[in-house]
Amino acid sequence: MNIVITGASSGLGLHTAQALARHGHRVIAGARSFTEEREDLGFFCATLDVTDQASIEHFHQKAIAYAGQIDAVVHCAGILMLGSCEETTPEEYLHIMDTDFLGMVRVNQAFLPDMRAQHAGRIVMFSSINGLLGIPFQSAYTAAKHAVEGYAECLQMETKPFGISICLVEPGDHRSGSEAYRHHTSGMKADSPYRHAFTLGTRVIRYDENHGSDPDRLGEKVAKLLERRRMPFRVRIASADQHLAVVLHDILPPSLNNRILSSYYLKPGKKNR
């Protein structure tokens, strides 16, 4: 299978690209940090900025020239921004949406005509547990992932007649990523009225990421999803407590659910030390 993957230079994107290559697929990997074409990582790498239409068009041409036909696109490009809702600027929200949501839209629009023409194709979009529920100080990322969830449902219905399958992968916390892709909003300063709660909440977020699941196992699961005769539309890859958090979010009254999440993220405990 010829597979395009975005955001493949680090984090879950890199682990997924490596897993796909181990499974014998021809992988065309894109990332902004791939400043030159190379194959020494076990797959073909080329520059791709999902916020730049010209970069996407150039990458699309390179992928077609390299592989001839693209059978699947896997979306892993994304960045995280931490900050309070009040102090996150509209420009910062736009920046996250541009990368984490509109980047997927642009890349899909580049490859969908090819998939329609061959009446076959698979698209895997990395959402998140945050696409299903919100947590403090991740509103920009959460909003982008909620957008991905809704967009994917529309895309599935529209492209099914053309033989195209859509899969939403919803990862929980995994041990991966780079601090280069985790920004703080410009308003999150030392004198912010939210500073104390922000410090508590982000310590928990960092603890959960550092003690999260194995990213190699996630990559293997994505490879196996793509190899199935029929991909499921939605797959949550998370720990048991994160699965439970989603279930409780759906069945509990909002006030009770908010108390539980606030207690977990915003009260001092061992994860805050």
| Residues marked as catalytic | 9, 127, 141, 145
User: What CA–CA distance (Å, rounded) separates 41 from 44?
Assistant: 8
Burial of 226 (0-12, 13-18, 19+ CB in 10 A): buried
Closest residue by Cα to residue 265 from 208, 212, 209, 200: 200
The stretches of 101-138 forming alpha helices (DSSP H) are: 102-118
What residue ranges in the chain does DSSP mark as E strands? 2-6, 26-31, 44-47, 72-75, 80-82, 121-126, 164-171, 182-184, 234-237
User: What CA–CA distance (Å, rounded) separates 154 from 192?
Assistant: 39
- CA 147 to chain CA centroid, Å, is 12
User: What CA–CA distance (Å, rounded) separates 105 from 204?
Assistant: 32
Is 23 in a helix, a strand, or coil? Answer: coil
* DSSP code string of 46-108: EE--TT-HHHHHHHHHHHHHHHSS--EEEE----EEEB-TTTS-HHHHHHHHHHHTHHHHHHH
User: What CA–CA distance (Å, rounded) separates 120 from 232?
Assistant: 16
